[in-house]
Amino acid sequence: MKFGKRQLASLLGIAALPKGATAQSAAARNRILVVGVNADPAGLEPGANRAEPIGSEIILNVFDTLVAWTPPAFAQLEGRLARSWTVSGDGRVFTFALRPGVKFHDDTACDAAAVKFSLERTRDSNPFMRATFGLIDAIEVTGPLELRITLKEPMPVFLSLLAQPQAAIVSPAAVARHGAAFNVNPVGTGPFRFRSYRPDTDVVLDANPDYFRGAPRLARIIYRVIPDASTRRLELENGGLDLVQQNAQLAALPTQDVRALRGRAGIEVIEVPSQIIRQLEFNNSGLQGPLRDVRVRRAITHAIDYDGLLDGVLGGTADRVYGPLPSNSWAFDPAIRDLAPKYDVARARALLAEAGVQPGQLKLTLYSFQGSLWGAVATFIQANLAAVGIEATVAQTEFPALRALHVAGRFEVALDGRQPWYNDPDAHITIGYLSSLADSAMTFRMPADAALDALILRAQTTVDFEARKQLYFQVQRQIMDRVPAAWLFSNKLIVFKRANVKGLVVNSAPPLNEYHGVFKE
Amino acid sequence: MGGYALRRLAALLPVLFLVLVIIFHLTRFIPGDPAVTLLGPGATDVQIAALRAQLRLDEPMGMQFLSYLGGLLRGDLGVSLKTGAPVAQEILLRLPATIELSVLALLVAIVVGIPLGVVSAIRANTGFDHAVRLVSLLGVSMPAFLLALVLQLVFGIALGWLPISGRTSPFFLDDPVTGFAVIDGLINGDGEAAWDAFRHLLLPTTVLAAFLAATLGRFVRNTMLETMGEDYIRTARAKGLPERAVFFVHALRNSLLPAVTVVGLKFAEMLGGAILTETVFAWPGIGRFMFDAIRNRDYPVIQGATLVFALMFMLVSLAVDLIQALLDPRIRKRMAS
* pLDDT digits 0-9 by tens, B148-199: 999 999 999 999 899 999 988 887 776 777 778 888 888 888 888 889 899 9
Query: CA A430, CA A293: separation in Å to the nearest integer?
Result: 25
Evaluate whether residue B81 is within a structural domain.
no
Which DSSP string do the residues of A427-442 spell out, in sequence order?
Answer: HHHHHHH-GGGTTSTT
Query: CA A485, CA A96: separation in Å to the nearest integer?
Result: 42
Same domain? For B101 and B131 the reply is yes
Query: CA A108, CA A110: separation in Å to the nearest integer?
Result: 7
User: Cβ–Cβ of B41/A228 closer than 8 Å?
Assistant: no
pLDDT at A10: 41
Q: For the range B195-200, what are the long-range contacts, defined as Cβ-Cβ under 8 Å and sequence gap of 24 or more?
A: B195/A17, B195/A18, B195/A20, B196/A20, B196/A21, B196/B168, B196/B169, B196/B172, B197/B167, B197/B168, B199/A14, B199/A20, B199/B162, B199/B163, B200/B162, B200/B163, B200/B166, B200/B167, B200/B168, B200/B169
Domain span holding position B25: 2-73
Same domain? For B302 and B239 the reply is yes
Same domain? For B54 and B164 the reply is no
User: Cβ–Cβ of B173/A228 closer than 8 Å?
Assistant: no
Chain B contact set for A424 (CB, 8 A) = none
Same domain? For B39 and B162 the reply is no
Chain A contact set for B165 (CB, 8 A) = 226, 228, 231, 234-235, 240
Query: CA B99, CA B316: separation in Å to the nearest integer?
Result: 12
CA angle B215, B219, B225 (to 5 degrees): 155
User: Cβ–Cβ of B192/A20 closer than 8 Å?
Assistant: yes
User: Cβ–Cβ of B192/A34 closer than 8 Å?
Assistant: no
User: Does A300 contact B at CB distance below 8 Å?
Assistant: no
Reply yes or no on domain A277-491 having CATH 3.30.9.100: no
Query: CA B143, CA A193: separation in Å to the nearest integer?
Result: 43
The C-alpha of B313 sits at a distance from chain A's nearest C-alpha, in angstroms, of 24
For the CA atoms of A496, A277, A78, A32, the dihedral, rounded to the nearest 10 degrees, stands at 20
Evaluate whether residue B252 is within a structural domain.
yes
- Buried b / exposed e over A17-40, threshold 16 CB at 10 Å, is eebbbeebeeeebeebbbbbbbbb
pLDDT at B42: 56
The C-alpha of B325 sits at a distance from chain A's nearest C-alpha, in angstroms, of 36
Same domain? For B145 and B53 the reply is no
CA A158, chain centre distance (Å): 18
Distances (CA, A) of B270 to A365, B209, B267: 38, 8, 5
Contacts A–B by Cβ distance under 8 A: 166
Give the residue extent of every domain in chain A: 31-270+494-520, 277-491
Helix-strand-coil percent breakdown of chain A, rounded to 5? 40, 20, 40
User: Does A34 contact B at CB distance below 8 Å?
Assistant: yes
* pLDDT digits 0-9 by tens, B286-331: 889 988 888 888 888 988 988 888 888 888 888 888 888 887 888 8
| Phi, psi dihedrals of residue A390, rounded to the nearest 5° | -105, 130
Same domain? For B69 and B102 the reply is no
Nearest CA in chain A to B43: A440
Evaluate whether residue B182 is within a structural domain.
yes
Which DSSP helix (H) or strand (E) runs through A197? strand A192-198
User: Cβ–Cβ of A404/B160 closer than 8 Å?
Assistant: no
User: Does A24 contact B at CB distance below 8 Å?
Assistant: yes
The C-alpha of B290 sits at a distance from chain A's nearest C-alpha, in angstroms, of 12
Q: What is the number of structural domains in chain B?
A: 2
Same domain? For B135 and B282 the reply is yes
The closest alpha carbon to A108, from A177, A191, A160, belongs to A177
Same domain? For B138 and B181 the reply is yes
Q: Which of A17, A199, A403 sits opposite B37 (nearest CB)?
A: A403
Count CB atoms within 10 A of the CB of residue A142: 12
User: Cβ–Cβ of B31/A401 closer than 8 Å?
Assistant: yes
User: Looking at residue B97, which CATH number applies to its domain?
Assistant: 1.10.3720.10
Evaluate whether residue B218 is within a structural domain.
yes
Which of B28, B44, B73 delimits the end of a domain?
Answer: B73
Written as tens digits, the pLDDT of chain A (521 aa) is: 344 444 444 444 333 333 333 445 778 888 999 999 988 888 899 998 888 888 999 999 999 999 999 888 888 899 999 999 999 989 999 999 999 999 999 999 999 999 999 999 999 988 778 888 989 999 999 999 999 999 999 999 999 999 999 999 999 999 999 998 898 899 999 999 999 999 899 999 999 999 999 999 999 999 999 988 889 989 999 999 999 987 545 445 667 778 888 888 899 998 888 888 999 999 999 999 999 999 999 999 999 999 999 998 888 889 999 999 999 899 999 999 999 999 999 999 999 999 999 999 999 999 998 888 889 999 999 999 999 999 999 999 887 788 878 888 889 999 988 888 888 999 899 989 999 888 777 789 999 999 999 999 999 999 898 999 999 999 999 999 999 999 999 988 888 999 999 999 988 767 788 999 999 99
Q: Do the beta carbons of residue A470 and residue A486 sit within 8 Å?
A: no
pLDDT at A471: 96
CA B100, chain centre distance (Å): 10
Nearest CA in chain A to B34: A400
Interface of A with B in 53-82 (CB under 8 A): none
Same domain? For B65 and B123 the reply is no
pLDDT at A12: 40
User: Does A13 contact B at CB distance below 8 Å?
Assistant: no
**pTM recorded for the entire structure:** 0.86
The C-alpha of B254 sits at a distance from chain A's nearest C-alpha, in angstroms, of 32
The C-alpha of B174 sits at a distance from chain A's nearest C-alpha, in angstroms, of 11
Same domain? For B103 and B52 the reply is no
- What's the CATH class of domain A31-270+494-520? alpha beta
Chain B contact set for A441 (CB, 8 A) = 36, 39-43, 48
Nearest CA in chain A to B38: A50
pLDDT at B186: 84
Name the 3-class secondary structure at B96: helix
The C-alpha of A201 sits at a distance from chain B's nearest C-alpha, in angstroms, of 6
pLDDT at A297: 97
User: Cβ–Cβ of B36/A20 closer than 8 Å?
Assistant: no
The C-alpha of A198 sits at a distance from chain B's nearest C-alpha, in angstroms, of 9
Same domain? For B13 and B143 the reply is no
User: Does A157 contact B at CB distance below 8 Å?
Assistant: no
Chain B contact set for A198 (CB, 8 A) = 284
User: Does A407 contact B at CB distance below 8 Å?
Assistant: yes
Same domain? For B167 and B289 the reply is yes
User: Cβ–Cβ of A400/B282 closer than 8 Å?
Assistant: no
The C-alpha of A22 sits at a distance from chain B's nearest C-alpha, in angstroms, of 8
pLDDT at A14: 38
